[in-house]
Chains A and B, each alone.
Chain A
Amino acid sequence: MESVLGRYRNLIILVGVLFLQVLGLAMQVKRMGNEAQDTRLIRIWAVGSITPFERGLVWMQTSTRNIWHNYFYLRGVRAENRDLKAQIEQMRLEQVRLSEDAAQARRLQNLLAFKEQFVAKTVAAQVIGSSGSDFSRIIYIDKGENSGIRRDMAVITPDGVVGKVALVYSSAAQVLLINDQTSGVGVIMADSRLDGWLGGSANGEVVMNDVMSDEDVPVGARVLTSGGDQIFPKGLPVGTVAKVMKGKDLFLNIKIKPTADLSKLEEVLVVVEKQEKQATADDKARVRAADILAQRLPSVPDRPTANAASVGIAPEGAAKPAGSANSLPAAKTPAATTSSLAAKSATSSTGTTPAIAPRKTGDQTSTAPLQNQPAGSATTKPSVVPPKPAISQPKPPTPPTTQPGSQPAADDNSPH
């Protein structure tokens, strides 16, 4: 007997060690099936010993990169700054249009007593590590319980959804990426409103499931969160359809290209607080009859727009919006200087709300920035709406005036 033990000693030890590990594995699998995953002390130790080094290395890397980018490598910054400013101005115009659309949507939602989910508070976190394995698609972030992070919180980037918090430690957290096999996100197609759920495949692709094979799913269609999983707020961008194939049974196999680059994550946002409230039409969007009346009545500008003639587009701006389908009173407002860009912005919005778009533009945030634009910018030079009169002060009816360098107001949509 002793000789047998001695002879096969190594093999016996091997079998023993493997048996213990299989036993441990089996216990974990059983536990996971019965109850929610508990964080094991052994995992906490392992993560706790690795993350400080990772955090330190990331800090050093970030510091070095910041010093280089912020103090040494500033080539092209001025040109980039100029481009970005121009881009901001264009986006402001777009924002005006979108805010009108949003205001209208809110009013409709209010009428229908819809409840919306809002991302109320986020915590920015830095990615400090990964599992290092192709079979476990997770990342570690440098914020944990101390920063208010809890399990099952949504993790996003400005580009889109990243994953959810799987485990939380005191100063770090494990995030399960959406391309992991065990993840699941409730999603909906932005245009067709087809819903399903998103999961990862063994090779790290993101797949949308539970869409019937008789549905038409175009490549490039946008996919958003549906909110059905109670983790991700509704409407966050997830990805676009990359490939559609016939799948098993009656379902399609839809491969999704995530909008967030999951392989190169550096900073993420953890949604620590969501709010659910009934949509309300805010004050900005509320329009009084007096305001509309004031808009449609002719008025005299307090300050002559000297640059109207120099811009050379005033006649166009004066004539075109008046005839546009959305009944813009642009020519009636003091904005004989209304630019073609503003007219484009207004006419591209939906047909119901733009009647007040130019005035709202003046009341909201876009007027001042537009007037402060650099003179060299051809698209942004003309002011859209002069600062006065304010929309909340209806003016008494005054006779139509003709400004120098502009056509007489010819608003065939005016109420009088």
Chain B
Amino acid sequence: MQITYTSGEQVEVYRFSIPVTVGVPLLALFVQAFLPLRFPWFARYVDLPLLVTIFFAMARRSPVAGLFTGAIIGLAQDMLGHNPIGIYGIAKTVVGYGASSLGVKLDVENAGARFLVTLGFYLVHSAVYFTVARGLVSMTQSWDWVHGILAGLVNAAIGVLLYFALDKFKQRT
């Protein structure tokens, strides 16, 4: 497992075509909304829009692009639910910003680094969501460490595979 500290000149910055930029998050949202109908555990353990946010943020390595990516994907995810719009938006904005900031400083191209980063950001995402939902919206939420870590591991494992698949769409700047 290798996490290397790299200078700004060493890291590669990628960009994506417009169809990929729009299509991949939409597909992730669609799958996230559809699969729980057949596999009820999916909604409880997997957050595909979060994985897509982390991927785009880390690949672009631009905090501004990352936070906007997170905000848009999060808001779209909020719209599919019945809770107030903005809870996922805030959580994914923070994740997008954090992931792209980390991408600038660390080499997050290898599987080990990606696994750890995804696990960490899943917990960050859950913590922000929990805080906003309880503090701002007064939703009844209970923090469950076991579920959080388990779901984080599941997301990290899926994320590693997903990132390698999405790597094919990267374009060098």
Contacts and interface: CB of A to CB of B under 8 A. Distances in A.
B84 interface: yes
Contacts of B81: 131-133, 135-136, 138
Nearest to B139: A181
B30 A54 contact: yes
B79 A21 contact: no
A167 to B, nearest CB: 7
A224 interface: no
Tell me the dominant secondary structure on chain B's binding face: helix
B29 interface: yes
Contacts of A32: 84
A22 B86 contact: yes
Interface in B96-131: 97, 101, 129
Interface string A255-277: 00000000111100000000000
Contacts of A202: 140-142
Interface of A: 9-10, 13-14, 17-18, 21-22, 24-26, 28-29, 32, 40, 42-43, 45-47, 49-50, 53-54, 57, 127-136, 138-140, 166-167, 174, 176, 180-182, 201-203, 263-266
Contacts of A129: 33-34, 37, 80
B63 interface: yes
A129 B42 CA distance: 13
B161 interface: no
Contacts of B29: 50, 132
Q: Which of B82, B93, B133 has most chain A Cβ within 10 Å?
A: B82
A21 B72 CA distance: 11
A201 B144 CA distance: 14
Interface of B: 26, 29-30, 32-37, 40, 43-44, 63-64, 67-68, 71, 75-77, 79-90, 93-94, 97, 101, 129, 132-133, 136-142, 144
A25 B43 contact: no
A174 B82 contact: yes
A182 B97 contact: no
A50 B43 CA distance: 17
A28 B82 CA distance: 12
B93 A18 contact: yes
A265 B38 CA distance: 9
A203 B142 contact: yes
Given A25-B90, A47-B79, A54 B34 contact: yes
Contacts of B132: 25
Contacts of A18: 90, 93-94
Contacts of B141: 135, 202
Contacts of A47: 79-80
Contacts of A135: 81, 83, 87, 129, 133, 139, 141
B82 A166 contact: yes
A145 to B, nearest CB: 18
B64 A130 contact: no
A335 B42 CA distance: 60
Given A17-B67, A25-B137, A29-B137, A132 B80 contact: yes
A42 B142 contact: no
Contact of A127 (B37, B133, B136, B140): B37
B84 A28 contact: yes
Given A25-B132, A128-B37, 4 more contacts: A17-B93, A24-B85, A45-B79, A129-B80
Nearest to A24: B86
A263 B30 CA distance: 18
B125 to A, nearest CB: 12
Contacts of B32: 132-133
B83 A50 contact: no
Given A10-B63, A53-B30, A138-B81, A264 B40 contact: yes
B22 to A, nearest CB: 11
Contacts of A50: 29-30, 33, 80
Which 5 A-B pairs have CB atoms at the shortest separation, nearest pair first?
Answer: A136-B81, A46-B79, A132-B32, A263-B40, A25-B86
Contacts of B94: 14, 18
Contacts of A130: 33-34, 36-37, 43
Given A46-B76, A46-B79, A135-B139, A57 B85 contact: no
Contacts of A180: 82
A315 B83 CA distance: 69
Contacts of B36: 130, 132
Contacts of A138: 81-82
A47 B36 CA distance: 17
A42 B85 contact: yes
A21 B77 contact: no
B67 A14 contact: yes
A166 B84 CA distance: 14
A21 B40 contact: no
B144 to A, nearest CB: 8
B64 A25 contact: no
A388 to B, nearest CB: 54
Given A130-B43, A132-B32, A21 B64 contact: no
A186 B29 CA distance: 34
Contacts of A181: 139-140
Nearest to B32: A132
Contact of B63 (A14, A25, A131, A133): A14
